Amino acid sequence: MNPKLKLTLTHYLNSTNSTSITFNVPTPHSNSVPFLKTKHFLRFLIRSFFSDFNETVSTRFLHVRHLGLFCLAQNGRARANGLLSYITAYKQQVCAPAVGQFTSKRALCTDKEDKMASMDERFAFIAEWYDANAALIRRYQFLFYTKDNTIEMFDIKNRRVFLKRSKCEGIELRDVFIGASVSIHSRQLKFVDYADDFTRKRLSTRKERTLAMVKPCSTDKVGHIIDMIFSDGLHITKAIMTKVSRAEAQEFYRMHEQKPFYDELVRYLTSGIVIPMELMGENAIQRWRQLAGPTDSAIARSEAPLSVRAKFGKDKQTNAVHGADSPENAERELNFFFAGAPKPNTATLVDCTCCVIKPHAVLAGHAGKIIVAIQEAGFTISALQMFNMDRANAEEFYEVYKGVVAEYTDMVTELISGPSIALEVTGKGGETPASFREFVGPADPEIARHLRPRTLRAIFGTDKIKNAVHCTDLPEDGVLETEYFFRILSQ
């Protein structure tokens, strides 16, 4: 009797559960071996095994091993409920009578396993990392599993596993979106694209973006407005305090050009400082419009008393905030402020100090409360901008602490772990740096809570690294640190 090749196809539902099928293929002639190495055979196995699953995803890493040979199928399609699938094959001499008989696929995947698979969603992204040593941008397939917040990475160029599925503290699904930067084991990754259609379809509405703009009449209320945005579950991914020229205002409001209030709109937008922000979240456009309230502030106070315009608007014109009314306008308005050449910021670099709201405080939703506290203490925020720091910039900014403070490396890691908000703080003349340093409190929040419980770090800090904010230590460095963010990094 001719020897058979026994092949086992395994679908890993998660790290501890899997389903498998075993079938036999006759090998009467040596020319059967090349057949087993072909992509056509591999795709046949995939289609046959996964035909009962519901979700369709792009599977880029499907492996077959036979007689020590390795075959990689690129761009394969598999039905695997959104999960990455691995295919292993091994040789065994057997004399089984059945040839090419598959066992029941649905019987091998029980209802319990189906339920577990649906709970363990896997989202796939393309991430880039700049390797400073090699001066190269390296690309990875980044996989995020929602059940246990674990991650997995594959080196696309070298076609190998880069990071096995493991837990990475501090990384959640909300932190992973196109344009985001996260720090994974001291490597700062930037997400540039979706890696499969499943992720794109599932996250397209969950990661919807829109423009929210604080108008000139309400910039002193920006802390309260930011706090309302975070409380509503929306995330701020970009922000800048800027001024708009008349030509820019005319371009921004060009859809109202033929309306009688067009000139008044343009005049108002150019009358002072504005703060455009990119908001992201599920159905972000509709949710922000609902949070903003009716256009007429008087109507907002009667129909939506908890809305932004009800609280901070004055009338139909000076109504606190602006919001895009459609996906098309949202994209146009976001491009207006955040695409192309950077908009000029409003930093004065006179009698100022630098404050940086750290990533952990931003992600925890404390940024608005911190800004409110700063303003209520008598300080003025004369410039504001959101940054995603890379390691080189963070090390340069904290260079004065290198070799002096034991926590230097951890301070750098925290600063690049997510978005931070830099502020130029003024309002106390030449005493601003020292006065603000006093208001921020001791570097260690535990000490601050015992000695000065009303300071920023005492209220919002967690530990010596995650102590809510950075502030300029020496008065003579106030302008230098502010200039680093608003003159160097902003360009």
Residue 347 lies in a domain: no
Would you mind telling me the total number of residues written for the chain in this entry?
Answer: 491
Residues 462 and 376 in one domain: yes
Residue 89 lies in a domain: yes
pLDDT surpassing 50 at residue 27: no
**Rounded CA separation 456/440 (Å):** 5
**pLDDT at residue 457 in the model:** 97
Residues 125 and 111 in one domain: no
Residue 27 lies in a domain: yes
What would the two tokens of residue 164 be? 């096995």
Average pLDDT, the chain: 80
> How many other CB atoms are there within 10 angstroms of residue 358's CB atom?
28
Residue 230 lies in a domain: yes
Residue 343 lies in a domain: no
Whole-angstrom CA distances from 137 to 157, 331, 398, 415 are 11, 28, 25, 21
**Rounded CA separation 319/300 (Å):** 10
User: Which of 21, 12, 39, 360 is CA-nearest to residue 152?
Assistant: 12
- Indicate the pLDDT class of residue 458, thresholds 50, 70 and 90: very high
- Indicate the pLDDT class of residue 261, thresholds 50, 70 and 90: confident
Highest mean pLDDT among 43-47, 132-136, 193-197: 193-197
Which strand (E) or helix (H) includes residue 334? helix 327-338
- Indicate the pLDDT class of residue 185, thresholds 50, 70 and 90: confident
**Rounded CA separation 214/223 (Å):** 11
Residues 363 and 450 in one domain: yes
**Rounded CA separation 146/314 (Å):** 44
Residues 379 and 438 in one domain: yes
Residues 36 and 96 in one domain: yes
Outline where DSSP puts E strands in 217-263: 235-239, 242-243
Residues 297 and 239 in one domain: yes
Residue 348 lies in a domain: no
Which strand (E) or helix (H) includes residue 9? strand 4-12
Residues 83 and 108 in one domain: yes
Residues 441 and 401 in one domain: yes
**pLDDT at residue 291 in the model:** 97
Residues 17 and 139 in one domain: no
**pLDDT at residue 8 in the model:** 54
This prediction has a pTM of 0.71
Q: In which domain, by residue range, is 300 found?
A: 208-338
CATH number at 177 reads 2.30.29.170
Residue 345 lies in a domain: no
Task: Check if the beta carbon of residue 411 is closer than 8 Å to that of residue 380.
Answer: no
**pLDDT at residue 250 in the model:** 92
- Indicate the pLDDT class of residue 49, thresholds 50, 70 and 90: very low
**pLDDT at residue 82 in the model:** 31
pLDDT surpassing 60 at residue 26: no
**pLDDT at residue 109 in the model:** 38
- Indicate the pLDDT class of residue 117, thresholds 50, 70 and 90: very low
Q: Which residues are catalytic?
A: 322
**Rounded CA separation 324/327 (Å):** 8
% of the chain exceeding 70 in pLDDT: 75
Question: How are beta strands 122-131 and 187-194 bridged, if at all?
Answer: antiparallel
Residues 161 and 243 in one domain: no
Q: How crowded is the C-beta side of 109, counted as CA atoms within 13 Å?
A: 21
Rounding to the nearest 10 degrees, give the CA dihedral for residues 463, 468, 472, 474.
-30
Task: Mention every residue, 6+ apart, whose C-beta is less than 8 A from residue 360.
Answer: 414, 417, 418, 462, 466, 468
- Indicate the pLDDT class of residue 207, thresholds 50, 70 and 90: confident
The residue with tokens 């926590």 is: 407
> How many other CB atoms are there within 10 angstroms of residue 353's CB atom?
29
Q: Looking at per-residue confidence, does 177 or 87 come out higher?
A: 177
Distance of CA 279 to the CA centre of its chain: 12
- Indicate the pLDDT class of residue 180, thresholds 50, 70 and 90: confident
Whole-angstrom CA distances from 343 to 13, 245, 379, 442, 490 are 48, 11, 24, 35, 9
Residues 326 and 220 in one domain: yes
What would the two tokens of residue 86 be? 């691995």
Q: Which of 181, 203, 225 is the last residue of a domain?
A: 203
Q: Which of 65, 95, 118 is the last residue of a domain?
A: 118
% of the chain exceeding 90 in pLDDT: 57
pLDDT digits (tens, 9 = 90+) for 331-373: 999 999 999 888 999 999 999 999 999 999 999 999 999 999 9
Q: Which of 72, 89, 118 is the last residue of a domain?
A: 118
pLDDT surpassing 80 at residue 189: yes
CATH number at 273 reads 3.30.70.141
**pLDDT at residue 296 in the model:** 94
> How many folded domains does the chain comprise?
4
Residue 137 lies in a domain: yes
Q: What angle do CA 212, 217, 220 make, to 5 degrees?
A: 85
Residues 193 and 127 in one domain: yes
**pLDDT at residue 119 in the model:** 54
**pLDDT at residue 38 in the model:** 45
**pLDDT at residue 24 in the model:** 52
